[in-house]
Amino acid sequence: MVKVAVMGYGTIGSGVVEILEKNAARIRKTSGEDLEVKYVLDVREFEGDPIHSKIVHDYQIIAKDPEIRVVVETMGGVEPAYTFVKAMLEAGKHVTTSNKALVADKGAELIALAKEKNVNFLFEASVGGGIPIIRPLMSSITGDEIVEISGIVNGTTNYMLTKMTNEGLAFDEVLKEAQAKGYAEKDPTADVEGYDACRKIAILTSIVCGQQVNYQDIHTEGITKITPTDIMYAKEMGRAIKLLATSRQTNDGYVAMVAPFLIPASHPLYNVNDVFNAIFVKGNMLGDSMFYGSGAGKLPTASAVVGDIVDMVKHMNMHITLNWDAEPVTLADYKTNETRFFVRTKASKEEISNTFGKVEFVDIEELADEIGFVTETMSESAYEEKAANLSSVLQMIRFH
């Protein structure tokens, strides 16, 4: 019998408790142990709810109870989660978290502490919800140099872009609908400005290069400027607009970015729609691979947390080596990144050609007073220099 504590009885924390109960037989089989939730840490009481008898308000009760071997952190945010998790690891308990903010900020430090204490700190649910991606990167694709990792890792924005694409709606309309359905929060900033995706690609890039990537160093653009007109052009080009969180290996190190990209129909990420997430991984030996599934939601995310619990129960006396050092890595400047750029402009074809040289024009009959074009492959800084010389830039979206 392994006793478990859950810190934070919100959507995901309650999902973890639910799965541990509903799938107890399966979990006994895969972990080799019976699991019992002994404490749930929350500021609320949940009177009348069966969980009430397990509620505690002081994390020290958990830290000081030697019966507790496994702790689940599903509170979110850096503090007080960081203080609590640190105390649990120092007390020799295994910890799993779904908290991307905590992992992006303190991941390397908490892994080092777990190693020192010969316990585990796992965080499969922090990226891609229920999709197994952290463990495959840490334990499966370990013989490869990861040349690229690019993900649709925010379900809210993917739902919105899918709606805009399928129904021709504007950003504001779709946002309202997403909020009404509970897919977007009242303050949608973290999702629509790409901040959530930025934390997640910081975590993925840290794992891939084995060093600390600071999310503040990652160039981040959201989807607020995407319009139905952009989507008309995307369709004309046989592409889809997706908010990608992407890292590519270059001669100067990894270059990371969050931004809307135009993805061709032949790419596996093209068909990832609605609230689904997917992470595309290209290895120098493996080639292309993709991990697809529910990137958010109570039970899918809790499923990933429970997978971590089982793994920790199987490694109760052994630290699982995770290759992520605290030493910060210097990312390559995103302005050195080379790609093709799609641009909408009021400028004439002649002016465009004079400024950008060889381009592919994208002409949409209904749009009389503007034109689209796609540049040849060039660096971000070369693009900016040329674009500054163009009399009008209505929009720019990168090719992927």
**Binding flag, residue 6, a copy of itself (CB under 8 A):** no
**Binding flag, residue 118, a copy of itself (CB under 8 A):** no
**Binding flag, residue 283, a copy of itself (CB under 8 A):** yes
CA distance 11 to 83: 21
Chain centroid to CA 314 = 27
- Residue 90 backbone phi and psi in degrees, to 5: -65, -30
Helix (H, G, I), strand (E, B) or coil at 262: strand
CB of 254 to a copy of itself, least distance (A): 14
**Binding flag, residue 27, a copy of itself (CB under 8 A):** yes
Beta strands, E only, the chain: 2-7, 35-41, 55-56, 68-73, 94-97, 121-122, 146-152, 211-212, 219-220, 239-250, 253-264, 276-283, 287-294, 325-328, 338-339, 341-345, 359-362, 371-375, 378-379, 395-399
Q: DSSP letter string over 47-73?
A: TTSGGGGGEES-HHHHHT-TTEEEEEE
**Binding flag, residue 166, a copy of itself (CB under 8 A):** no
Question: Is the Cβ–Cβ distance between 257 and 218 less than 8 Å?
Answer: yes
CA distance 335 to 203: 21
C-beta closer to a copy of itself: residue 299 or 364: 299
C-beta closer to a copy of itself: residue 27 or 397: 27
Contacting a copy of itself (CB under 8 A), which of 60, 83, 118, 139?
Answer: 139
**Binding flag, residue 95, a copy of itself (CB under 8 A):** no
Contacting a copy of itself (CB under 8 A), which of 13, 107, 130, 151?
Answer: 130
Known catalytic membership, residue 200:
yes
Question: Is the torsion defined by CA of 336, 136, 211, 216 positive or negative?
Answer: positive
The residue annotated as part of the active site, out of 200, 235, 282, 346, is 200
**Binding flag, residue 12, a copy of itself (CB under 8 A):** no
Query: How big is the site for a copy of itself, counted in residues (CB under 8 A)?
Result: 58
Cβ neighbour number for residue 366 with a 10 Å cutoff: 6
**Binding flag, residue 349, a copy of itself (CB under 8 A):** no
CA distance 112 to 54: 31
**Binding flag, residue 76, a copy of itself (CB under 8 A):** no
C-beta closer to a copy of itself: residue 29 or 52: 29
Helix (H, G, I), strand (E, B) or coil at 361: strand
User: What interhelical angle do 100-116 and 195-209 show, nearest 10?
Assistant: 30
* Span 194-213, contacts to a copy of itself by CB under 8 A: 210
Sole residue written with tokens 């910081």? 202
CB of 100 to a copy of itself, least distance (A): 18
Sole residue written with tokens 């060093």? 211
Which one of the spans 68-76, 192-200, 276-284, 335-343 is the region binding a copy of itself (CB under 8 A)?
A: 276-284
**Binding flag, residue 310, a copy of itself (CB under 8 A):** yes
Q: Assign 3-state DSSP to the chain and report helix, strand, coil percentages, each to 5.
A: 40, 25, 35
**Binding flag, residue 287, a copy of itself (CB under 8 A):** yes
Contacting a copy of itself (CB under 8 A), which of 117, 135, 340, 386?
Answer: 135
Which one of the spans 75-83, 181-189, 299-307, 348-356 is the region binding a copy of itself (CB under 8 A)?
A: 299-307
> In this structure, are strands 276-283 and 146-152 parallel, antiparallel, or unpaired?
antiparallel
* Span 242-271, contacts to a copy of itself by CB under 8 A: 268, 270-271
Q: What is the dihedral of CA 113, 116, 120, 121, to 10 degrees?
A: 10
Which one of the spans 5-13, 177-185, 247-255, 296-304 is the region binding a copy of itself (CB under 8 A)?
A: 296-304
CB of 156 to a copy of itself, least distance (A): 17
Enzyme catalytic residues: 200
Note the residues at the interface with a copy of itself (CB under 8 A): 15, 19-20, 22-23, 26-27, 29-32, 124, 130-132, 135-136, 139-145, 210, 268, 270-271, 276, 283-294, 297, 299-300, 302-307, 309-311, 314, 318, 320-321, 323
